[in-house]
Chain A
Amino acid sequence: MNTSVIVTGFGVTAPNGLGTRDYWSATLAGRSGIDRVSRFDAGRYPSRLAGEVSAFVAADHLPSRLLPQTDHMTRLALVAADLALADANVSSGDADSYGMGVVTASSAGGFEFGQRELQNLWRHGSRHVSAYQSFAWFYAVNTGQISIRHGMRGPSGVVVTDQAGGLDTVAQARRLIRKGTGLVLAGGVDGSICPWGWVAQMAGGRLSRCDDPRLAYLPFDARAAGHVPGEGGAILVLEDAEAAARRGAGPGYGEIAGYGTAFDPRPGSGGAPALPRAMELAVRDAGLSPGDIDVVFADGAAVPALDRIEADAITAMFGAGRVPVTVPKTMTGRLYAGGAALDLATALLCLRDGVIPPTINVTPEAAYGLDLVTRRPRTAPVRTALIVARGEGGFNSAMVVRRPDDE
C-alpha cells in the first residue's frame, strides 16, 4: 500500500490574481489578466498580448538583498513558495530540514536576466557581466533559491518538460514523499516576458497574433489560432497524509491520487498520439475508472490540430459530452512551466468549493463533442478532477486529484 500524498497548501501568482483569494475570485468571475505587454514595448512584434502579474511589486514581498541576484520569475516563485508555506501553516523550523525538499519545473530559466547580461557582454565586454549571471538565469534557480530561503535540505530537483512540467514535478514530489521525505514543495512559476524570450517563444509558431484580449486565446473554438503567453504559476505543499495529520494539518485540499506520462511517437512516424495513454495511466494509477472523474482541466492548446487530439482523447475516454471540461488558462494565458501547476491548484479549489471555473470567451466548436464549461462557473459535486498538460516536442502528462473525504 502506497503512502497517500496530499496537498496541504499552495501559493498562486497569476496574471488575474496575486494570492489564492484574489485569483479564485477573479477566476470565478471570469476576469482575465490578459492585456497588452507592459514589460517591454512589444509594438514591433506580431504578437503583443500577454498575461502579466501586474499587481506584483517584488520589494513589497522580498528582502532587498535578493533583488539584484534574481530574475523577475524567480521573485514570483519565491513569493508563491512563501504563500504556500503560510497556507499550509508550515514554518521553516517546523520539521527536520532533511525531511523537506523542493522540486520545481522550469522552461527557460531567468531569461530576462540572461538577456541583460548577454547585452552587457556583447555591447560592453566580459568584465561587465554580473557576478550573479552564473546562477540567476539557469533552470535550477527557483529550486535553489527556495531551498535556501526556507532551509530545506532534503532531496530537491528540477524537471524540464516544457509545459507539462508543472505536473511532472508534483509526481516527482509524490515519489520523494513515498520514499520517506515528509514534505516537498513542488510546482512551477515561470515567465520569459522580455524581448529575447518573446522572440524565442514566437519561433515556436504557437503564439496568437490577435490584438483583442477577448479573441486571442480560444481553445476548442473554431477561431482558435494560437495562445497568449503569460507569467506566474503555483507552488504547492505536498505531504505524507499521516505526517500531516500528526502535525495537525487537517485533510488538506486533496490527494494526488494518480499520475501518468507518455511521449508522442517521433514526428512523421505516423504513430498515434500518446495523450490518451497518459490520461489512462493517471486514472488507473488513481484506482478509478473514467466514470469516476467529475471534471477535466484540459491543456487547451488553441492550435486546431492539438485541440482535435485532446478532444478526441477526452471523448474516447468519457464519451462525447459526458464530462465537464474547462480551460481557466483562457484568463491567464499559458504560463509555460507554471501553467499546469496553476491548473492543479485551481482544480483543488474546484474540489473544495464544488464549483467549476469557466472557460472564457470561447464558443465551443460542436465537432469536438466537449461539454465545455463556458461563460460562468458551474456548480457541481466534484470529488475528483483530471488535469491534462502537454509540452512541445511530445510531452503528455495527466494527474488525478481527489477530495480528502472521498475514499
Chain B
Amino acid sequence: MNRRVVITGIGVMAPGGIGTKEFWELLSDGRTATRRISLFDPAQFRSQVAAEIDFAPEEHGLTAREVRRMDRAAQLAVVAARQALEDSGIDFDRMNPHRTGVTIGSAVGATMGLEEEYRVVSDDGREWLVDHRYSVPHLYGYLVPSSFAAEVAWAVGAEGPVALVSAGCTSGIDSVGHAVELIREGSADVMVAGAADAPISPITAACFDAIKATTPRNDDPEHASRPFDDSRNGFVLGEGAAVLVLEELTAARRRGAHIRAEIAGYATRSNAFHMTGLRPDGKEMAEAIRAALDEARLDAGDVDYVNAHGSGTKQNDRHETAAFKRSLGAHAYEVPISSIKSMIGHSLGAIGSIEIAASALAIENDLVPPTANLRHPDPECDLDYIPITAREWRTETVLTVGSGFGGFQSAMVLTDPDRRDR
C-alpha cells in the first residue's frame, strides 16, 4: 500500500510577497522585488542589489524574546510555519504530536546573526582571539542551525522526527522531499516542511562577489535578475521562507482538507564535478528529473509547466537548458518554463520551498508565472521561458528543479490529485 502525500497548507514569506496571496499576486503580475540593498551599506561591494523582505517580526506575532533569540531566517521560518498551519485548517491541539514532524531546509543558517555577533566579539575583526565576555546566550543556536527546526517544532507542537536539511541551494526541495519520505514510510502522518534563508549580509555578498556569481547591474536594480536573457550577468541575492503542511492523502480527504497539490515524485543527484562549477551537458540534473518523473509514474510529455532553477548566471541557465532537453526530449520545446527568481531573487536554500509553493499555486490557478526581464533570450537558451507576462495555462503537473553549490541537483514533481484520480 502506497501512502500518497499532499500539500494542505502553504505559508510564504517572500520579497514583495508576505503571505500566499500577496506572493501569488506579485508572480501573476510579473512584478519584481529586487532593489538596492538596504539591510547594510553595500557601497564597497561589486553587487549591490538584492531582493529584500520588508519584515517587522513583531507585526507577525513574535514576542520580544523570540525576536532576540532567533536569527532573521528562523523568524521567517516560524512566521511562514504559522501561516501554513492556519491555511491547513488542521486543529493542531487535537493532533498527535508524536506523529507530527518538522523538516526545515537552509543553505547558510544563521549567517546574519553570526556575522553581527562576530563583529561584537572580535571588535570588527581586530581580534583573532575573540572575546567571550561580549557573546550572547543564544549564540549556540546561531552556530548550529538545527535550532531553526527546533523553533518551528516548538511553534507547531511537533514531537516526531525533526531535522534541518542543508544541501546548499537545493535545501528547500530536499527538505520537502525528505518530509514526503517520512510520511510515506510511516514515520509521521503530518509534516511541517519548508525552508528559510536570510543571507543578505556583508559576508555573503563578499563571498559571491569573489567568484562573480552575483550581478553587478547596480544601476538598474528592478531589472537586475534576468534569467535566460542574453544580457544576464549573475544572480540577485534574495531572502525568504516557505513552509508547507504535508499530509497523507486519504487522511486529508477524510477531514475535508483543501488539497493544494500532491507531491508525486522527488529525486536528487550530485554532479561529483566541482563545488561551484557545472558541466554544460546537464546530465545529473536530467537524471534527477527522470528519476522524479519515474517515481511519479509520469512521462516527460505529462509535464504542463516547469519551474526552473533559472538563477541568471551564465553557466546555470545553459546547463539547465541542456538538462531539460536531455530529460524531456522534444517536449522540452513545447512546455512553458519560467524562473520566478527573475522577480524575487535567489534566496539560496529557501528558494526551493518557495518554488514548490509557486508550483502548487500554478496548479490551483491554472496560471503559470513569467520570467520577468526576459527581453532578449540567449540563443543557447532556446526554450519557451515565458517572457514578461504570466500565462493562463491548464496545469495539472509541474516539474520544479534546483541546482546548488556542492553539486546537488534536485527535482520534484507536483500534480493535482483530484484531476489525476478522475
Binding site for B on A (CB under 8 A): 40-41, 44-46, 69, 97-98, 101-102, 106-109, 111, 115, 117-127, 129-131, 133-135, 138-141, 143-145, 147-148, 150-162, 165, 168, 172, 175, 192, 195-205, 261-267, 271, 274, 277, 336, 391-395
Q: Is the CB of B209 within 8 A of A197?
A: no
**How close is B119's CB to chain A, nearest CB, in angstroms?**
6
The 30 sampled A-B contact pairs (Cβ below 8 Å) are A107-B146, A115-B118, A118-B115, A126-B202, A126-B205, A129-B206, A133-B210, A134-B207, A141-B406, A145-B275, A151-B272, A153-B270, A153-B287, A155-B270, A156-B269, A159-B163, A195-B129, A201-B140, A203-B136, A203-B139, A261-B160, A261-B161, A262-B159, A263-B153, A265-B97, A267-B154, A274-B159, A336-B144, A393-B147, A394-B153
Query: CB distance A200 to B140 under 8 Å?
Result: yes
Tell me which residues from 111 to 132 in chain B have a Cβ below 8 Å from any Cβ of chain A: 114-115, 118-119, 121-122, 124-126, 128-132
CB pair A140 B168 closer than 8 Å: yes
Of B143, B147, B158, B174, which is in contact with the most chain A CB atoms at under 10 Å from its CB?
B143
Contacts of A158 in B (CB 8 A): 165-167
Contact for B166 among A138, A154, A155, CB less than 8 A: A138
Is there contact, CB below 8 Å, between B158 and A263?
yes
- Known contacts A129-B210, A155-B269, A200-B140, A121 near B132 by CB under 8 Å: no
> Inside 8 A of A264's CB, which chain B residues have their CB?
159
Assuming A159-B164, A203-B143, what are 12 further A-B pairs, CB within 8 angstroms?
A: A40-B128, A45-B132, A115-B130, A119-B128, A125-B44, A143-B167, A160-B149, A161-B149, A197-B143, A199-B121, A202-B135, A203-B138
Shortest Cβ distance from B276 into chain A, in angstroms? Answer: 6
- How many Å from the CB of A191 to the closest CB on chain B? 12
CB-CB under 8 A for A140 and B166, given A97-B272, A131-B211, A147-B270: yes
**Residue of A44, A98, A125, A151 with most chain B CB atoms under a 10 A cut-off:** A98
- Are A155 and B267 in contact, CB atoms less than 8 angstroms apart? yes
- Contact residue among A44, A127, A263 (Cβ-Cβ distance under 8 Å from B161): A263
Known: A138-B107, A158-B165, A262-B160. A175 touches B185 (CB 8 A): yes
Q: How far is B131's CA from A152's CA once the two chains are assembled, in angstroms?
A: 42
A151 to B269, CA, bound (A): 12
**A contact residues around B273 at 8 Å (CB):** 148
A177 to chain B, nearest CB (A): 13
Contact: A126 with B209, CB < 8 Å? Answer: yes
Q: Which of A150, A154, A203 contacts B137 (CB 8 A)?
A: A203
CA distance A189 to B25 in the complex (A): 45
**Whole-angstrom distance from the CB of B37 to the nearest CB of chain A?**
13
- Judge if B399 is at the interface, Cβ distance under 8 Å: no
Chain A residue, CB-CB nearest to B136: A203
How distant is the Cα of A80 from the Cα of B141 in the complex, in angstroms? Answer: 27
Interface residues of B in 184-233 (CB under 8 A from A): 185, 202-203, 205-211, 213
Q: Is the CB of B119 within 8 A of A122?
A: yes
Bound Cα distance A41, B129 (Å): 8
Closest residue of chain A to B150 (Cβ to Cβ) is A393
Give the residues in chain A near B157, CB-CB below 8 Å.
266
Q: Are B275 and A157 in contact (CB under 8 A)?
A: no
